[in-house]
């Protein structure tokens, strides 16, 4: 059967079974385009319907989260955990607290997570969870009460050998602390049931930095394939949260100049570059004051563009690090026509299918999220190892392991994604590279 028809037939079934879950359809379609031809060449995966099984979560948990706000009013949110695939290890993946969270978004994230976790080389299955709770504008006490209520239900489904959540959008060190405290209280056990913990209570050094650092290490590896480096490159970053902050830090350490970052209200453009002092301000602004990025522009006399994303700013390298579908086809064309030749994704699925098509057509170095942002979950895996050993490694040791994992992920993408002309299609590389290990484990474990 022709390639297009194979994908069309497969997607018709996925869409019929998962109606209205558009982000999930999008994530599956991207993978199906790489994997279905590979399955045709390897019929053992076809007979065992491996991709059909991978697109159906092993388990979906959906629950009510009641909590009382500071005014004494009862609030009710939805809580979710998608346990997608446990073929190669316990379910592992973050929790997202954001008003847009719904089943389809979490299923897309959980599906991506399965392949990403496989790429890390560590023994982790895939999962994702969260809530439509919006931490913005809430007091610390409200966030705590919400987290305690959320964990009261979640605790019965997770465990250090079963399912190990972590952070994602809206879930950082503060939330992980509240969640961990409640889990410990309910179960009377101190275990590595969550990652991203504080350093004094079982967390790993470098976990906060890991996604952003890994995203930059991945860009550096892609650049090496054309004998180039980040030194002297102009970079644009979107977002100003956990991932963006450490992408800015590492890119700057590698000699690049980062000229933008953003939040959901707009972006700042600083032609002089975001140096260490300015980055320290962003960390304080976002992690402590919980303010808006427009305040950066006032403080450092930079430009602020309300309601837009930074992709119109001329750059060599782009680091999307905010959210899904934040780079569309037009943005991609603008980036490429302005000379951008490297895109390394810190966010999950930040580029629309149209944007990906533009990047691949112009043969730029394009590192998709499931490869380029895998450093975060990889370091979560290292946190789990340290928890099991009841030891903690030094900063240098964890950073070296993270760096080596990113080098291995890059090499795996090259292995599966390089074409006759020498161009590396990292989308294909990451999809097949991530798929094979999970698929072989599923074959070995029978029809489950
Ligand atoms: P944070 O909550 O720390 O920061 C998110 C940033 O993105 C904020 O600047 C936020 O702006 C912005 N943002 C969020 N939603 C939107 C939106 N709809 N439109 C525009 N801007 C938005 O999250 P993280 O930095 O942890 O996550 C960023 C991305 O990286 C996500 O896609 C996440 O899935 C992915 N990721 C995270 C990992 C991790 O370890 N944390 C690991 C791998 C991937 P505002 O403050 O205004 O909401
Ligand atoms: O998307 C991701 O990989 C994460 N949010 C991190 C997950 C984790 O378990 O560290």
Closest ligand 1 atom, residue 286 Cα = 46
Q: What is the pLDDT of residue 1?
A: 73
Q: What is the pLDDT of residue 12?
A: 98
Domain ends where: 332, 367, 402? 367
One domain, residues 113 and 173:
yes
**In the predicted model, what is the mean pLDDT of residues 335-359?**
99
Q: What is the pLDDT of residues 132-181, one digit of tens each?
A: 999 999 999 999 999 999 999 999 999 999 999 999 999 999 999 999 99
The pLDDT of residue 362 is: 98
- Contact (Cβ atoms closer than 8 angstroms) between residue 348 and residue 109: yes
Q: Judge if 20 and 47 occupy the same domain.
A: yes
Q: What is the pLDDT of residues 114-130, one digit of tens each?
A: 999 999 999 999 999 99
Residue 375: pLDDT band (50, 70, 90) is very high
Mean pLDDT of 218-247: 98
Which residues, other chains included, contact 403 with Cβ-Cβ below 8 Å and sequence gap of 6+?
Answer: 217
Between CA 411 and CA 398 the distance in angstroms is 20
What does the pLDDT look like over 68-123, one tens digit per residue? 999 999 999 999 999 999 999 999 999 999 999 999 999 999 999 999 999 999 99
What band does 36 get if pLDDT is binned at 50, 70 and 90?
very high
Residue nearest to atom 9 of ligand 2 (CA): 93
Question: Minimum-distance ligand to the CA of 171?
Answer: 1
Residue with CA at minimum distance from ligand 2 atom 4: 94
Tens of pLDDT, residue by residue over 175-216, are 999 999 999 999 999 999 999 999 999 999 999 999 999 999
Check: CB of residue 160 under 8 Å from CB of residue 191: yes
Mean pLDDT of the region 25-49? 97
Residue 355 lies in a domain: yes
pLDDT of residue 3: 85
Domain interval for residue 150: 59-190
Instruction: State which H helix or E strand residue 65 sits in.
Output: strand 59-68
Same domain, 186 and 223: no
Give the active site residues. Answer: 128
171 & 242 share domain:
no
Torsion over CA of 408, 411, 412 and 416, rounded to 10 degrees?
180
Rounded to two decimals, the pTM is: 0.98
Closest CA to ligand 1's atom 44: 347
CATH of the domain at 320: 3.40.50.720
Using CA atoms, how far apart are residues 394 and 167, in angstroms rounded to an integer? 22
Which residue, of 14, 33, 54, is where some domain finishes?
54
**pLDDT score of 2:** 84
**From ligand 1's centre to the CA of 36, what distance in Å?**
31
User: In angstroms, rounded to a whole number, what is the distance separating the alpha carbons of residues 423 and 180?
Assistant: 45
Strand, coil or helix: 334 = helix
Whether residues 82 and 40 share a domain: the answer is: no
148 lines ligand 2 (CB under 6 A): no
Q: How far is CA 319 from CA 115, 124, 238, 413, in A?
A: 21, 26, 7, 19
Q: Are 229 and 304 in the same domain?
A: yes
Mutate to test the pocket of ligand 2, among 83, 123, 211 (most ligand atoms within 8 A of CB): 211
In this structure, are residues 383 and 195 in contact, taking their beta carbons and an 8 Å threshold?
yes
Number of the ligand 2 atom closest to the C-alpha atom of 377: 10
Residue nearest to atom 30 of ligand 1 (CA): 347
């Amino acid at each position: 059967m022709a390639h297009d028809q194979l994908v069309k037939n497969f997607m018709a079934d996925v869409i019929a079974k998962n109606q209205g879950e558009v982000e999930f359809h999008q994530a599956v379609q991207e993978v199906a385009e790489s994997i279905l031809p590979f399955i045709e060449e390897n019929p053992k995966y076809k007979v065992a319907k491996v991709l059909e099984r991978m697109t159906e979560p092993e388990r979906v948990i959906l629950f009510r989260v009641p909590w009382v706000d500071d005014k004494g009013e009862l609030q009710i949110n939805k809580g979710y955990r998608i346990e997608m695939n446990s073929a190669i290890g316990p379910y592992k993946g973050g929790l997202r607290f954001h008003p847009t969270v719904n089943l389809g978004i979490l299923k897309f994230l959980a599906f991506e997570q399965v392949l990403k976790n496989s790429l890390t080389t560590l023994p982790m299955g895939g999962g994702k969870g969260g809530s439509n709770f919006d931490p913005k504008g809430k007091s610390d006490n409200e966030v705590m009460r919400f987290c305690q209520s959320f964990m009261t239900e979640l605790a019965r489904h997770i465990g250090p050998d079963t399912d190990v959540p972590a952070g994602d959008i809206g879930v950082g060190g503060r939330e992980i602390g509240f969640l961990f405290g409640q889990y410990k209280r309910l179960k009377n056990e101190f275990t590595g049931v969550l990652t991203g913990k504080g350093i004094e209570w079982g967390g790993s050094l470098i976990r906060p930095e890991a996604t952003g650092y890994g995203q930059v290490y991945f860009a550096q590896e892609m650049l090496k394939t054309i004998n180039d480096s980040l030194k002297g490159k102009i970079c644009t970053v979107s977002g100003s949260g956990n991932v963006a902050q450490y992408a800015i830090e590492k890119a700057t350490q590698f000699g690049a100049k980062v000229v933008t970052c953003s939040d959901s209200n707009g972006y700042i453009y600083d032609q002089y570059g975001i140096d260490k002092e300015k980055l320290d301000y962003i960390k304080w602004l976002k992690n402590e004051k919980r303010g808006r990025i427009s305040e950066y522009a006032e403080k450092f006399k930079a430009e602020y563009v309300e309601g837009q994303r930074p992709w119109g700013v001329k750059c060599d390298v782009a680091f999307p690090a905010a959210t899904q579908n934040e780079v569309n086809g037009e943005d991609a064309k603008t980036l490429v026509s302005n000379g951008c030749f490297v895109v390394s994704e810190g966010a999950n699925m930040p580029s629309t299918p149209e944007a990906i098509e533009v990047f691949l057509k112009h043969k730029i170095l394009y590192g998709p999220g499931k490869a380029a942002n895998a450093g975060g979950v990889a370091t979560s895996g290292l946190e789990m190892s340290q928890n099991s050993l009841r030891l903690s490694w030094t900063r240098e040791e964890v950073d070296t392991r993270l760096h080596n994992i990113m080098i291995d992920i890059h090499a795996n993408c090259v292995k599966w994604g390089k074409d006759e002309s020498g161009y590396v299609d990292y989308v294909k590389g990451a999809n097949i590279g991530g798929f094979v290990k999970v698929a072989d484990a599923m074959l070995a474990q029978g029809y489950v």
